[in-house]
Chain A
């Protein structure tokens, strides 16, 4: 079935470096994508979203890139900080369909 998945289950980066978290999606009809951050024992927290009519969107220290040709989504975190350590999920949907979450990537920031 169609699903959203992640290339890497874990990612370790040095504090201050940039992080890139990747996501592959298989539903070519999806038109809305979100990145969520989940800290231990907490619920998913919205980071940034992007609609399919865009290929890049920037927030504070975060950038999401969407490549519809290869159905790839990435989250870039600039100057990664210890507080960025968490599991990051991509999620997607189309229209009225529920969000479908990927498996998550655990980001560990090394001080």
Chain B
């Protein structure tokens, strides 16, 4: 069964350092997302990406965040200068389409990367 894969599973970084979280979405999917989940809290939307550009982003996704699809398979989230409050689980998700002819489809989530900023 196809799945979204994320690496690494756990990343520890010092405050102020840059981190890159990597994701390989499901191969025929067209929409890609990053969500985060602070420990014990709900899953929060960060950004969606379609056709090589950001289609929507939340207030959380400020200038320290960026996303990239450097090749045909990877989708990355970069945090330029990490802060303590960036510590969370980061989930990548992908979906085949969204809003196509008014039909929504489910987003498949990866297992997440646990980011710990110290």
Interface string of A11-49 (1 = CB under 8 A from B): 000000000000000000001101010000111111001
Which residue of chain A lies nearest to B6 when distances are taken between CB atoms in the complex? A43
Distance in angstroms between the alpha carbons of A98 and B46 in the assembled complex: 9
- The answer to whether B104 touches A104 (Cβ under 8 A) is no
Q: A44-B91, A45-B109, A98-B58 are in contact. Are A103 and B102 (CB under 8 A)?
A: no
A56 touches B (CB below 8 Å): no
CA distance A13 to B87 in the complex (A): 33
In terms of DSSP, what is the predominant structure of the interface of chain B? strand
- Measured between beta carbons, the chain B residues less than 8 angstroms from A49 are 104, 106
With a cutoff of 8 Å between Cβ atoms, the chain A residues found around residue B58 in the complex are: 98
Interface size of A by CB at 8 A reads: 25
Query: Please, which residues of chain B bring their CB within 8 A of the CB of A104?
Result: 42
Q: When the two chains form their complex, are residues A93 and B33 in contact, meaning their CB atoms are under 8 A apart?
A: no
Known: A96-B98, A98-B45, A101-B43. A43 touches B111 (CB 8 A): yes
- Does residue B48 face the partner (Cβ distance < 8 Å to A)? yes
Interface mask (A92-107 → B, CB under 8 Å = 1, otherwise 0): 0101111111111000
The answer to whether B44 has its CB under 8 Å from any CB of chain A is yes
B: residues with CB less than 8 A from A are 4, 33, 35, 41-45, 48, 55-56, 58, 91, 93, 98-99, 102, 104, 106-112
17 contacts between A and B (CB under 8 A): A31-B102, A34-B106, A36-B109, A43-B109, A43-B111, A44-B43, A45-B109, A46-B106, A49-B106, A51-B104, A91-B43, A95-B102, A95-B104, A96-B55, A98-B56, A98-B58, A101-B35
